[in-house]
Structure 1
Amino acid sequence: MIRPTCDADQRSSRYGCFILRWLKSLKTPESIAQHTTIFEQDLGQLVEALKEFTLIDIYGEIHYEKVESYRLMAETRFPKSRVEVDTSRFCLWI
C-alpha cells in the first residue's frame, strides 16, 4: 500500500494531536504520583549532596495539578523546613 501524501499542515495537525494526548497523560493521578516520587528522590539526593545548604530555589514551570502534591511531599520529607510551591517556583528552606 502506498502511503497517502500529506502536506506540512496535515503532519503538524497529527503531531499536535499526539502532543495533546501525551500532555493529557501527564495530568493523570498516577502520573502526578510518579512525578512526585521521582522529584522526592532527586530532592533527597540533592539535600544529601549539599549537606550545608539552607535554601533550594528552583524556577520553572510546574503544572498546577502537581503543585499541591509537590508541596505535601516536601512538607512530609522535610517537616521542620519552610516550603513554598507554586506554578513557577519550588522553594525549600532547611
Structure 2
Amino acid sequence: MQVPKMRWHSCVTRINNLMPMAVSSIYIRKHFDNEAKKQVEEMIDLIMAAFVDMLQTEDWLTEHAKGFAKEKVDAMNKKLVIQIIWMIQN
C-alpha cells in the first residue's frame, strides 16, 4: 500500500527542484556560521587532495594528463568555495 505524500512535502520537493541554489542559500544562511564554513572548506580541500593523490598513483595516465586533471581539480575547488561563500553572503 502506498502512503500519499503530504502536500507540504510535495511543495518543498518541487521548489527545491526548481530553485536549488535559492533553497540552499536560505538553508546555509540559517544554519551555517563561520566555523561551519571553515569546516566545509577544509572538507572540500581534503576530498580534492585525496583525488589528486589518487590521480598521481594511476599508471595509465600520462604526466600531461595528470597535470591537466590537477588543474581541473584546482578550478573545481575554487568554484565550490566561491559558491559556498556566495550562498552565505546572499
TM-score normalised by structure 1 residue count: 0.39
Which structure has more strand as a fraction of its residues? Answer: 1
Q: Which protein has the bigger helix share?
A: 2
